[in-house]
Amino acid sequence: MAIKHADTNSYNGASDNGTGANSLDLDGQYFVVRTAGVVDKAVSAGAISGVNYTVDTFAVDNETVGLKDVKYAPASLGRVYEIDVVGTVISKADEDASFDITANAQNVNGATSGTGVQLKLVEFLSPTKGVFTIII
């Protein structure tokens, strides 16, 4: 499983959008970043603007010709996500620690516990799953 809202009360339905990056493939939910109006998958240790709604594949010239938009749930305080952890398992002791996402922009890199800058573990669920919030 990828990213899912852990608490339906944590999401109020508001969305942001921007032009999808050239050759962007959104075949599920990913952490995304919006830069200068263009939405792309977020990268490890970089900014996170939110989590996409739009599931689509974008043309190689989308930023200049296609101009199809990506809608995403913007990062906000209190919004929480249930996310799989890969790389290294986590424990209850990791609650409140910060983490980074993996290169696929869908999972948490467990090996970044305490050194990450993107996500904070709010609730330990299992060694390979937790409830996280985006660090804003």
Alpha carbon distance 8, 48 (integer Å): 20
Pick from 13-17, 32-36, 84-88, 115-119: least confident: 13-17
Alpha carbon distance 121, 59 (integer Å): 35
Q: Is the pLDDT of residue 113 over 50?
A: yes
Mean pLDDT of 44-67: 95
Mean pLDDT of 97-107: 95
- Amino acid 8: pLDDT: 46
Q: Is the pLDDT of residue 105 over 80?
A: yes
- Amino acid 12: pLDDT: 57
Mean pLDDT of 24-41: 96
* 112 Cβ neighbours under 8 A, 6+ residues apart: 44, 87, 98, 99, 100
- Amino acid 10: pLDDT: 47
Alpha carbon distance 24, 110 (integer Å): 26
- Amino acid 3: pLDDT: 73
* 64 Cβ neighbours under 8 A, 6+ residues apart: none
- Amino acid 7: pLDDT: 57
Mean pLDDT of 4-27: 78
Mean pLDDT of the chain: 91
